Chains A and B, each alone.
Chain A
Amino acid sequence: MTAYILRRCLYAIPILVGVNLITFVLFFVVNTPDDMARLALGAKRVTPDAIEKWKAEHGYDKPLLVNAQASGVAQLTDTIFFQKSARLFVFDFGNADDGRNIGYEIRTRMWPSLALALPVFVVGLAVNITFAMSLAFFRATRYDFWGVVLCVAMMSISTLFYIIGGQYLVSKVWSLVPISGFAPGADAAKFLALPVLVGVASGIGSGTRWYRTIFLEETGKDYVRTARAKGLSELDVLFGHVLKNALVPILTGAVVVIPLLFMGSLLSESFFGIPGLGSYTIDAIQAQDFAIVRAMVFLGSVLYIAGLLLTDISYTLVDPRVRFA
């Protein structure tokens, strides 16, 4: 098992190197630091001096890959690639354009993100599985039909409208919770209630349909027929056999997103004013702060790969047929 996990971790390294190279090419080769400086300074104040000054301030005044003026190891280390890209590997994200440390921001902002994303994930999973189970239990009836219709309709509504509609109904018309904002500690509950509700509601359509398909696929299998032949009631079949077996694809599909919960949700956080990583990223995109976007791209990839790793491990845990290949 340890050897298996270790090998999976080693597989992750070339992928992270690839991600790093892609971001490097995107951020420094396609557009040179000069272009970025011009954009950051605005059209009016662009003089060669100003560009040089901006680049020096932000650490972009080095050659891209090889520094011919330095000597020894510094030929490779005193470059943009090493300073800006390679350092991401040790989670040294550097400073944002406004001079603040990105690593510190990430460490403080990931908790509000998690406080929102985790309840959405858990409650959403529970609601979707329950709803899908009920559809599978009453399959091929009118309830099933209209349930699926409801799911398709809910899938067809943009997340933006769930958020806008939720804010309007719950906060403005019924005045139950504040429209947006955040407070640390127990006070957070009243700010998080609506975003969680909206997050769960927007996921019901696609989630339920997906789980219903899994349940129906399982109900067509031989072991279900055997269980029915034994005389088990339909409820026993569904909960005792189908649910257990269907949990394998469901869990492995869900595990992959767990690490990504730290990244938060871009839309909810920016609409509800939650100071998490999602709103941090959106602000960075809108302020065109490339350092933050670069850091978030790398962090997101690391978390996704961690999710893949967790998926592989959980597969071996829940499905005894899977061996460590």
Chain B
Amino acid sequence: MTLVPLWIDALVWLLVAVTAAYAWYARRQPHLAAPWRRVGQSGSGMAALVVLAAFAVVGLLDCVHYRPRLPAGPGGVPVYSVEVRSVLDALLAPLHARAERTYSAPLAIRAYARETVELSGGRLQRGYPRLQYAGVGRADEAARDRDVLLRSLAGAALGLVAWALAAVGWTALLARREGAGLGRMIGAIARGETAFAWRAVLLALLAIALVAGPVALLAREYHVLGTDKVGQDVLYLALKSIRTAIVIGTLTTLIMLPFAVLLGIAAGYFRGWVDDVVQYAYTTLNSIPSVLLIAAAVLMVQVYIDTHPDRFTAAVERADLRLLFLCIILGVTSWTGLARLLRGEALKLRELDYIQAAQAFGVRHGRIITRHILPNVMHIVLITVVLDFSGLVLAEAVLSYVGVGVDPSMNSFGTMINAARLEMAREPMVWWTLAAAFAFMFALVLAANLLADTVRDALDPRVRVGALAAAGGAK
């Protein structure tokens, strides 16, 4: 196989590398590690982090694209398929390949709509035809029910065993590191007495294992979340949509961060004409309604792509480029908030004694900014990055619905909802596509919101003081 370097993939992995580098660096700095330790003490925050990590794993698997190698051609020259696949595609290939003709309900073995079927004697009859790939070999619904129950139980048991092995193994490691006995460690975790919220982590993992186990077993034989209008497995669509959501939620902030940090701090630190120019820039950008600015920009990109089809060889590349543009445009519209916050903070910081002292010593401006101001506004940057994530995931769905989001060929929650929006009005109603999109988005955004709250509480000194005051006032 040969790797296909897509822009988005490269940026996502860069982001992973940056995050890992920050984590490695922060571990060694007590003043950076302390607030994160507070994040680690929060049960809801850690449980949310585990759920997010599960989403991230799926998304990252979808961020390695390659062209599979075909059977060698004449002369032994390696030939690669024109189709670009991701690792997730390879894992989900059976799910993708088992496409039915049209709608079918979750776990159904028959089609959702009545069709005329030809019986063995050549007679025609109206009825619900059997699905091609669901519940093969099960005689009827009763046999299906038994099989589903069996598979769910087996899946749950499998998940439970896997979880128990991992949990005990990890607890043993912890116990060894702390120099405590295994039994005592288990007790401490179960009672939630550990400094790091291990209980929440393990409970979240247990929940994931109990959902993933049965689903994995059922998905081998059935369409767990049904199929959509053209017969695609909805579970597959939902899993493929995770990449888009995560990319939009993270890359947008990654792209806007340099601008926001540089311009915001420069405006607050230098004041004068720099401040005027930066303020003018963000007030102007801010005054354009963001949906309209995004719509205008995306329309323009669309025109560009349509009029220059020769520059994009593969459909995947085109969709990828459009997603990248969407991130850039969203970044352009969203950097203003952070820039304004940083400007205000830099205005305050530049008057503080240690900065005045540094200036009096003749330290260069660049050094003052990187050495004294940047570390002191870092918490604002981190909080913004985490806070923005959920809003961006929600925004993607709305933009794709309006028609200015991702490429229609790209899987995303927005395109899923857009395709399914008329299904509630059908008779009989088709609810599972929307329900699947709802459940996945809700889990992702809720986890992101919970983590954002925890991070803000831990990192923002102002909130901590406020919370103490509120707690004191309540007594």
Given contacts A30-B304, A285-B299, A285-B403, contact A15 B287 (CB under 8 A): yes
Minimum C-beta distance from B106 to chain A (A): 18
B402 in contact with A282 (CB, 8 Å) = yes
Q: Does A158 contact B (CB under 8 A)?
A: yes
> For residue A282, which residue of chain B has the nearest CB?
B402
Structural contact, A304 and B287, CB atoms closer than 8 A: yes
CB distance from A157 to the nearest CB of B (A): 6
**56-108 of chain B: CB within 8 A of chain A:** none
Q: Mark A128-155, 1 if CB is under 8 A from B, else 0.
A: 0000000000011000000000001101
A19 within 8 Å of B (CB atoms): yes
Cβ-defined contact, A14 with B296, below 8 A? no
The answer to whether B390 touches A156, judged by C-beta atoms less than 8 angstroms apart, is yes
A35-B307, A39-B306 known; A216 vs B449 contact (CB < 8 Å): no
- Whether A15 lies near B417 (C-beta < 8 A) is no
Q: Which of B194-202, B225-233, B254-262, B278-286 touches A?
A: B278-286
Beta-carbon nearest neighbor of B393 in chain A: A158
Q: Is the CB of A35 within 8 A of B438?
A: no
CA distance A27 to B395 in the complex (A): 23
Most chain B beta-carbon contacts within 10 A, residue among A35, A179, A285, A305: A285
Task: Output the nearest chain B residue to A46 by Cβ-Cβ distance.
Answer: B307
Residue of A26, A155, A220, A260 most packed against chain B (CB within 10 A): A220
* Chain B, Cβ-Cβ closest to A139: B474
Q: Are B397 and A139 in contact (CB under 8 A)?
A: no
In chain A, positions 151-196 with a C-beta closer than 8 Å to chain B are 152-153, 155-161, 164, 167-168, 172, 179
- A245 on the B face (CB < 8 A): no
Number of B interface residues at 8 Å Cβ cutoff, please give it: 50
A218 to B474, CA, bound (A): 13
- Are B303 and A22 in contact, CB atoms less than 8 angstroms apart? no
Q: Is B208 an interface residue (CB 8 A)?
A: no
A255 CB within 8 Å of chain B: no
Contact B287 A159 (CB under 8 A): no
Could you list 18 A-B pairs, sorted by A, with CB under 8 Å?
Answer: A15-B284, A22-B285, A31-B304, A139-B470, A155-B445, A156-B441, A157-B438, A158-B394, A158-B438, A216-B470, A219-B469, A220-B473, A260-B289, A266-B398, A267-B398, A286-B403, A293-B296, A297-B289
B297, CB-defined interface residue at 8 Å: yes
Are B296 and A26 within 8 A (Cβ)? yes
Q: Which residues of B contact A (CB under 8 A)?
A: 280, 283-289, 291-293, 295-297, 299-300, 302-304, 306-307, 390, 394, 397-398, 401-404, 413, 417, 421, 424-425, 434, 438, 441-442, 445-446, 449-450, 453, 466, 469-474
Is the beta-carbon distance between B473 and A15 smaller than 8 angstroms? Answer: no
Q: Is the CB of A217 within 8 A of B474?
A: no
Inter-chain CA distance A293–B299, complex, in Å, is: 10
Measured between alpha carbons, how far is A139 from B306 in the docked complex, in Å?
56
Cα distance A15–B333 in the bound complex, in angstroms: 16
**Minimum CB–CB distance for A118 against chain B, Å:** 18
Given A140-B471, A152-B453, also A30-B300 (CB < 8 A): yes
Closest 8 CB pairs of A and B: A220-B469, A300-B289, A18-B284, A140-B474, A156-B446, A156-B445, A301-B287, A304-B287
List residues of chain A with CB within 8 A of the CB of B284. 15, 18-19, 22
From residue A170, how far is it (CB to closest CB) to chain B in Å? 12
Q: Name A217's contact: one of B289, B398, B402, B466 (CB within 8 Å).
A: B466
For residue B438, which residues in chain A have a CB less than 8 angstroms away from its CB? 157-158, 161
**Min C-beta distance of B415 to chain A, whole Å:** 12
CA distance A22 to B290 in the complex (A): 13
Residues of A within 8 A of B390 (CB): 155-156
Interface residues of A in 262-309 (CB under 8 A from B): 263, 266-267, 281-282, 285-286, 288, 290, 293-294, 296-297, 300-301, 304-305, 308
**How many Å lie between the Cα of A204 and that of B16 in the bound state?**
35
Bound: A152/B283 CA distance, A: 30
Contacts of B441 on A, CB cut-off 8 Å?
A: 156-158
Q: In this complex, which of B401, B417, B441 has the most chain A Cβ atoms within 10 angstroms of its Cβ? A: B401
- Kindly list chain B residues whose C-beta atoms are within 8 Å of the C-beta of A35: 303-304, 307
- Asked if A39 and B288 make an inter-chain contact with CB atoms under 8 angstroms apart, the answer reads no
Q: Is there an interface contact between B287 and A288, defined as CB atoms closer than 8 Å?
A: no
A181–B469 Cα distance when bound, in Å, is 50
A15 close to B295 (CB less than 8 A): no
List, in ascending order, chain A residues with CB within 8 A of B300's CB.
Answer: 26-27, 30-31
The complex places the Cα of A14 from the Cα of B276 at a distance, in Å, of 12
Interface residue A8 (Cβ < 8 Å from any Cβ of B): no
- The answer, among B287, B403, B404, for a CB contact under 8 Å with A19, is B287
Q: A158-B441, A285-B295 are in contact. Are A39 and B424 (CB under 8 A)?
A: no
In the complex, the chain A residue whose C-beta lies closest to that of B400 is A160
> Taking the nearest CB of chain B, how far is it from the CB of A64, in angstroms?
16
Complex Cα distance, B398 from A266, in Å, reads: 10
Find out whether the CB atom of B473 lies under 8 angstroms from the CB atom of A224: yes
A residues less than 8 Å from B289 (CB atoms): 260, 263, 296-297, 300-301, 304
Cα-based distance from A27 to B299 in the complex (angstroms): 9
Report the minimum CB–CB distance from B288 to chain A (whole Å). Answer: 5
Complex Cα–Cα for A23 and B306 (A): 20
**Bound-state Cα–Cα, A217 to B401, Å:** 38
Residue of A with least CB distance to B447: A156
Known pairs A15-B280, A285-B299, A285-B404; A301 contacts B397 (CB<8 A) = no
Whether B295 lies near A156 (C-beta < 8 A) is no
Q: Does A38 contact B (CB under 8 A)?
A: yes
